């Protein structure tokens, strides 16, 4: 049966240096798949908000927010790249429109289930292709791939796109997230092969990564 994923000719120039094309969509995450309880679920925006208050959306509120479709590839820092993903969800920049940050906010921390976290520069979070996805290829995300909400930051390595998103923290100074504290690059630009903390320039990270 023919695949609907792009072939080699179509992906020329789309695979970052050091990556290899893989077919399908491998499941990769740290820890167990969380159980979804819609009555307890919410998405929080907190930290350095302009008002100083925390804002929350319940699960049913997600449907009332603006949605877009983004076509993008996924790049894993260990080398695999899968192409042709169709994401549907809420533009990440919408969060800043609905819950304005305080002056001086430069980064966000994306928080997921079990306390998992990924730090992002504000410019990466508000990129036009960054979104909080609810669907993939026309279907709701599966639990293994992040249902009900997954952050997708296509130009960065996959550890910056946490599954099971639960919160966005506004920060006026950078702070390393889960994998960044464990030796992964603080910025993670796939096109610059920013995989490991030892590759960081002086201004790439807030503090040296934990060995």
Task: With beta carbons less than 8 A apart as the criterion, state whether 16 and 191 touch.
Answer: yes
Is this model's pTM higher than 0.85 or not? Answer: yes
Kindly report, residue by residue over 108-164, the tens digit of the pLDDT.
999 999 999 999 999 999 999 999 999 999 999 999 999 999 999 999 999 999 999
Contact between 83 and 5 (Cβ < 8 Å): yes
In the predicted structure, residue 6 carries a pLDDT above the cut 50: no
Q: What is the DSSP string of 72-137?
A: EEEE-TTSEEEEEEEEEEEETHHHHHHSPBPTT--EEEEEEGGG-EEEEEHHHHTSTT-EEEEEET
Q: What is the pLDDT of residue 5?
A: 45
**Can you tell me the distance from the alpha carbon of 142 to that of 102, in angstroms, rounded to the nearest whole number?**
35
Asked whether 211 and 197 are in contact (CB, 8 A), the reply is no
Q: What is the pLDDT of residue 2?
A: 36
Which among 164, 155, 146 has a CA at the least distance from the CA of 42? Answer: 164
pLDDT digits 0-9 by tens, 15-67: 999 999 998 776 766 678 889 999 999 999 999 999 999 999 999 999 999 99
| Inter-CA distances, 102 with 48, 53, 76, 108, 120, Å | 6, 11, 33, 12, 17
Q: Are 24 and 6 in contact (CB under 8 A)?
A: no
Q: What mean pLDDT is reported for the chain?
A: 91
* C-alpha to C-alpha distance for 153 and 89, rounded to whole angstroms: 12
pLDDT tier for residue 75 given thresholds of 50, 70 and 90: very high
């Amino acid at each position: 049966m023919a695949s609907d994923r792009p072939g080699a000719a179509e992906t020329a120039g789309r695979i970052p240096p050091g990556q290899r094309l893989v077919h399908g969509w491998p499941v990769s995450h740290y820890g167990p798949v969380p159980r979804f309880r819609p009555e307890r679920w919410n998405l929080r925006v907190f930290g350095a908000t302009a008002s100083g208050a925390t804002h929350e959306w319940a699960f049913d509120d997600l449907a009332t927010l603006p949605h877009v479709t983004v076509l993008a590839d996924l790049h894993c820092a260990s080398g695999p790249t899968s192409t042709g993903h169709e994401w549907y969800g809420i533009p990440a920049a919408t969060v800043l429109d609905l819950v304005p940050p305080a002056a001086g906010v430069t980064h966000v921390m994306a928080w997921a289930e079990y306390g998992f976290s990924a730090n992002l520069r504000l410019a990466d979070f508000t990129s036009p292709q960054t979104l909080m996805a609810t669907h993939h290829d026309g279907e709701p995300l599966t639990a293994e791939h992040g249902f009900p909400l997954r952050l997708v930051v296509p130009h960065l390595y996959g550890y910056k796109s946490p599954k099971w998103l639960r919160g966005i923290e506004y920060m006026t100074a950078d702070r390393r997230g889960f994998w960044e504290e464990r030796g992964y690059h603080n910025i993670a630009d796939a096109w610059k092969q920013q995989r490991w903390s030892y590759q960081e320039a002086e201004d790439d990270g807030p503090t040296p990564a934990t060995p």
